[in-house]
Chain A
Amino acid sequence: MRNLGWLRVPFIFTYAFLYIPIAVLVVMSFNASKSPFVWTGFSTQWYTALFNNELIRQGFINTMIVAVGATILATILGTLLAIGVSRYFRSAIVEAYSLAPAIIPDLVLAIGLLAFFALVGVTLSLFSVLLAHVVFGMAFVAAVVIARIGQTDSSLEEASRDLGAGVVTTFRKITLPSLAPAIIAGALLVFTLSLDEFVIAYFTNGPTTPTLPIVIYSMVRFGVTPEINALAALLLLVSFTIVISAQRITRLTDAV
């Protein structure tokens, strides 16, 4: 690292501010005591308890259904949106509007979607949460893919046509592979965002199918238990793994 001089001080403080609470949470998830604030010894009992908690298990399954479904749909639609916007419009305004769902406050999006679902008569369920997550997920995928398209040489597709490939073959053999790193990174991003999304899920979900963040919220209302700490530590592990792999994938292929 370059010598930061006095800038080192705020840098260390902000890093500590960011990661000390997370470190405490992870440490406490291995605490033997039932109190989340007093350390009495090492134990993995809360992880065991977590796996035996029916409410959390159901919440986890619901969340996975939403996250996987939303990721698949948002990745396909977001990629098409990105290609359409950068190829056929070349307008900064159209591009900005297509990325808006990623920037609009969650609350606004949540209320809007709730009103929309009521209007068209969609029963609130896991499916409506999934659709809602596709809306903002699509915008995130599009943002990443549009950036990638801006970096790729547009004559690649022309070269493919010139060498005898039709439109479909060119898309399959040249366009998609050259965008693949961005598409994968976008998909992983949507997956992590959907995994812990609370506001929109809270508004657009039915009463019988809570997702994991909603389950956690209702449990925390009666106090933080070490079980919640264990769950949060696991979620942290999943998010970190995904974010790091997304970064590696984009960096690896950028070097080529």
Chain B
Amino acid sequence: MTLDSTNAPLLRVSSVSKAYGDVVALDDVNIEIQQNEFFALLGPSGCGKTTLLRSIAGFEDPDAGAITILGAGSGAGEGEQIDLLSLPPNKRPVNLMFQSYALFPHMNVRKNIAYGLEREGLGKDEIAERVNEVLITTGLTDKADVRPAQLSGGQRQRVALARAIVKRPRLLLLDEPLSALDRKVRAEMQIELKRLQHEVGITFVVVTHDQEEAMSMADRIAVMHEGRVQQIADPVTLYSQPANVFVADFIGTGSLLRGIVANAVLLLRPESVHISADLAGAQLQGEVVETHFFGGSSTTSVRVAEMETLIVASHPGAPKFAVGERVGISWNADDAILLEDQP
């Protein structure tokens, strides 16, 4: 994946706000999404991520702000910013894959996929050709004449995806695309989605509440909370340099410690914490309260007197200390992350 930073962004969300009565769903949201990017909107339920997605698709009307998309192709409209908010959903060059998949129950798979192309007024032959092509891409050729009710969850998800990408949108929005699938299929589809995105060369925006899902698929992630964007960064940066306590807590695991550094919160990721029998040379001392062995690695939780949060350390191999033992805790100053203490 190459992100050409000299290019204008494909999608620009500027100062978008939306409230339902007293409930603020979006609060001055600013996001720029590059061409061919796999972008994730991540946050707990009610953080506004779905409202933002639906605003881009045209099913919600923001109270304030602008959403624009870069004009397609060559010629007059090239490079121009198109105002999405002035267009009805059916005129926007974006497609949404619904959380429920929203497959039309009275049409077979082929008809479902062809529906969007028929609306564009394309010729029969071209529609058939493009539908067949996408059936192959998504591995649905042998299910083409079956109705959605006869498909498994994973197959339905493929049909929903096929129906959206066959339109060749500039931007594909996916609302919790994997939430309806069971664990095993979900892992397969994560890889599948990533492969498809490369293959069809469409910009993806995925909404998810699952941080592992976002981290494993997305090039960049916007973490949202209470209608506001907390941080936009690539997964590694989010993990190693969270912008605030919320992001630090939401992404990955770790111990947030107050009271060690004045007016700040210290974040220790488990892999940065070293525990040893050497009490004198350690920064903190505590008592082991819990150990877990995961086969290849284990975690040890330590309670430090007068401190609410347990400090968790992870290390390869079996646990080295038993519950109740007193241990010393140390870490490299470079690995500790200092965050401003928010109310």
Contacts and interface: CB of A to CB of B under 8 A. Distances in A.
Q: Do A and B come from one complex?
A: yes
Interface of A: 153, 155-156, 158-166, 169, 173-174, 177-178, 255-256
Contacts of B119: 163-165, 169
Given A155-B102, A163-B90, 20 more contacts: A153-B100, A153-B102, A155-B99, A156-B102, A156-B105, A158-B59, A159-B104, A161-B88, A162-B90, A162-B95, A163-B116, A163-B119, A163-B167, A164-B90, A165-B90, A165-B115, A169-B119, A174-B104, A177-B106, A256-B106
A161 B90 contact: yes
Nearest to B92: A162
Interface string B59-78: 10000000000000000000
A87 to B, nearest CB: 14
Given A163-B115, A163-B163, A164-B120, A158 B89 contact: yes
Contact of B57 (A160, A162, A256): A162
> 10 closest Cβ contacts across the A-B interface?
A163-B116, A164-B119, A159-B102, A155-B102, A161-B89, A155-B98, A177-B106, A164-B90, A162-B96, A165-B119
B104 A164 contact: no
24 contacts: A153-B100, A153-B102, A155-B99, A155-B100, A159-B96, A161-B59, A161-B89, A162-B58, A162-B89, A162-B90, A162-B95, A163-B90, A163-B116, A163-B164, A164-B116, A164-B119, A164-B120, A165-B90, A165-B119, A173-B115, A174-B104, A178-B106, A256-B105, A256-B149
B147 interface: yes
A156 B102 CA distance: 5
Contacts of B149: 255-256
A173 B115 CA distance: 10
Contacts of B104: 156, 159-160, 174, 178
A160 B100 contact: no
Interface string B89-131: 1110001101110111110000000011001100000000000
A173 B114 CA distance: 13
A153 B96 CA distance: 16
Nearest to B114: A163
Interface of A is mostly: helix
A161 B102 CA distance: 12
A164 B106 contact: no
A179 to B, nearest CB: 10
B169 to A, nearest CB: 9
Nearest to A173: B115
Contacts of B100: 153, 155
A166 B87 CA distance: 12
A161 B167 contact: no
Contact of A256 (B59, B89, B147): B147
A159 B98 contact: yes
B173 to A, nearest CB: 9
A48 to B, nearest CB: 46
Contacts of A163: 90, 95, 115-116, 119, 163-164, 167
Nearest to A176: B106
A164 B167 contact: yes
Contacts of B95: 162-163
Interface in B118-176: 119-120, 147, 149, 163-164, 167
B262 to A, nearest CB: 51
Contacts of A156: 102, 104-105
Nearest to B59: A158
B67 to A, nearest CB: 15
Contacts of A256: 105-106, 147, 149
A155 B98 CA distance: 7
A41 B149 CA distance: 55
A185 to B, nearest CB: 16
A153 B105 CA distance: 10
Given A163-B167, A164-B90, A158 B116 contact: no
A166 to B, nearest CB: 6
Interface in B22-62: 57-59
A15 B98 CA distance: 49
B98 A158 contact: yes
A169 B147 CA distance: 21
Contacts of B91: 164
B205 to A, nearest CB: 14
A162 B98 CA distance: 10
Contacts of B163: 163
A140 B116 CA distance: 35
A241 B105 CA distance: 28
Contacts of A165: 90, 115, 119
Identify which of A159, A161, A165, A169 gathers the most chain B CB atoms within 10 Å of its CB: A159
Identify which of B102, B115, B163 gathers the most chain A CB atoms within 10 Å of its CB: B102
A163 B165 CA distance: 10
Contacts of A155: 98-100, 102
A162 B99 CA distance: 14
Interface string B253-290: 00000000000000000000000000000000000000
A255 B102 CA distance: 17
Nearest to B149: A256
A37 B240 CA distance: 95
Identify which of A158, A163, A169, A178 gathers the most chain B CB atoms within 10 Å of its CB: A163
Contacts of A158: 59, 89, 96, 98, 102
